[in-house]
Amino acid sequence: MADGDCDVLIAGGGPVGGLLAAALAQAGLTVTVVEVATPEVLGRPGADPRAIAVSYSSRRAIGAVGAWDGMAAAAGAILDIRVTDASSPLFLHYDHREVGDHPLGWIVPAPDLRRAILERMRADPAVSLLAPARIRRLERSSRRVEAELEDGRTVRAALAVAADGRDSATRDGAGLRIIRRDYAESGIVCVIAHQHPHHGVAHECFLPAGPFAILPLAGDRSGIVWTERRDLAAALCGLDDEAFLAELSRRVGGFLGEIRLEGARFHHPLSLHWAETMIGRRLALVGDAAHGMHPIAGQGMNMGIRDICALAEVVVDAARLGLDIGSADVLERYQRWRRFDTMLMLGVTDSLDRLFSNAIGPVRLARRLGLAAVNRLPPARRFLMRHAMGLAGDLPRLLRGQRP
């Protein structure tokens, strides 16, 4: 479609915007996605060495919209999670067998995730993917939205969705304010290949500089998410491969045998932000456009997937009843569904970061004892596992693995 009308206009074809497009199209709505990058750049192997933890319920939603098969071969199942505090012998261990016979989640390389979602969008005739393209002007009236693109095309829709990431131009252009807290830390990400198998165990070690995660990918490979002070992260990434690998090996330890780097390494500045409201006139914010959090719990994208599952459900329900899908009532229902869950996760990730980066002796002792105490309490362990798997709360149909 060059110019034209559709039901929903989505700015941003990343994982969150792309999954929303696929879900709405599956339910019979027409969608236009405007994405600034070319699909080739977004899905190029190694373009972003981030390994993304996909929760059990997010995996169900990705499967329900038909995008899982395209990434399954690259995904590593998380069977166990082991949480440790620096060199303390006390630890917390989650075993998937305590909650069922399925993995707790999966680790997927970011480019594979993006590529599979892009392919899913491109295969659907109800989705028009305009990429590369950018919205120059977005007008939202009481009857519809109209977007003028930089290349002169015009798109009209009943509802606009901002899925254009943490620096969302759509959100800012609509005057929706965000609150931001800078962590002065960066997350170094890279992929390693190793001599010994990981056995599906995800390791989260709280080092003095911040959390250090080793995440099981398919085969004998793992994704690293390593938090460091921002200036140090830049300096570490600037080291040559041998020196960087030496620093990395010191933190990984010897349990995976010999390790080597696969591809590039990046460092992402970490911050916390949330929009004062997730909705405006005929506009909804989803994913990082609405909220961003510390990757300490691997929940940023999972929260975005929860957003789009709720939004898809309220929009599809309204469409089936012949109601206006961009009306204030529909958008209010979306905001009510998502607001509390989002604020809770932002609070939890922020508190975890503060607690585990605190070097004061009594605090350190208390948290180590806390880890060990939870480890000895099966009901507490199961409660936390169900949260990490995304099974807590009022789940939209997609998160239960049903069609939108």
Is 76 in a helix, a strand, or coil?
strand
Rounded Cα distance, 261 and 190, in Å: 7
Determine if the peptide bond prior to 132 is cis (ω within 30°).
Answer: yes
With CB under 6 A as the contact rule, the residue among 164, 204, 228, 353 that binds ligand FAD is 164
Positive or negative torsion for Cα 175, 181, 186, 191: negative
Q: What would the x/- binding string for ligand FAD be over residues 115 to 154, using CB under 6 A?
A: -------------------x--------------------
With CB under 6 A as the contact rule, the residue among 117, 205, 225, 316 that binds ligand FAD is 225
| Closest approach of ligand FAD to the CB of residue 222, in Å | 13
Residue nearer to ligand FAD on the CB measure, 124 or 164 = 164
With CB under 6 A as the contact rule, the residue among 49, 210, 304, 404 that binds ligand FAD is 304
Binding residues for ligand FAD, rule CB under 6 A, total 33
How, if at all, do strands 178-194 and 291-292 pair?
A: unpaired
From 34-42, 141-149, 342-350, 354-362, give the range in contact with ligand FAD by CB under 6 A. Answer: 34-42
Residue nearer to ligand FAD on the CB measure, 111 or 187 = 187
Rounded Cα distance, 343 and 306, in Å: 13
CA count, 13 A, side-chain hemisphere, 151:
12
Residue nearer to ligand FAD on the CB measure, 36 or 395 = 36
| Closest approach of ligand FAD to the CB of residue 387, in Å | 13
Rule CB under 6 A: say whether 61 interacts with ligand FAD. no
CB count within 10 Å of CB 218 equals 16
Strands of the sheet containing 154-157, edge to edge, are 4-5, 154-157, 145-149, 135-140
Rule CB under 6 A: say whether 76 interacts with ligand FAD. no
Rule CB under 6 A: say whether 17 interacts with ligand FAD. yes
With CB under 6 A as the contact rule, the residue among 6, 7, 8, 14 that binds ligand FAD is 14
Rule CB under 6 A: say whether 15 interacts with ligand FAD. yes
Rule CB under 6 A: say whether 36 interacts with ligand FAD. yes
Q: Are 49 and 191 in contact (CB under 8 A)?
A: yes
Rule CB under 6 A: say whether 105 interacts with ligand FAD. no
Residue nearer to ligand FAD on the CB measure, 15 or 210 = 15
Residue nearer to ligand FAD on the CB measure, 118 or 371 = 118
Rounded Cα distance, 309 and 396, in Å: 6
Q: Are 222 and 109 in contact (CB under 8 A)?
A: no
Phi-psi region of 175 (alpha: psi -120 to 50; beta: other; left: phi over 0): left
Q: Please give the radius of gyration of the chain, using alpha carbons only, rounded to the nearest integer.
A: 21
Q: Which amino acid is at 44?
A: R
Site for ligand FAD, rule CB under 6 A: 11-17, 34-37, 42, 50, 52-53, 134, 163-165, 169, 187, 189, 225, 268, 287-288, 295, 298-302, 304
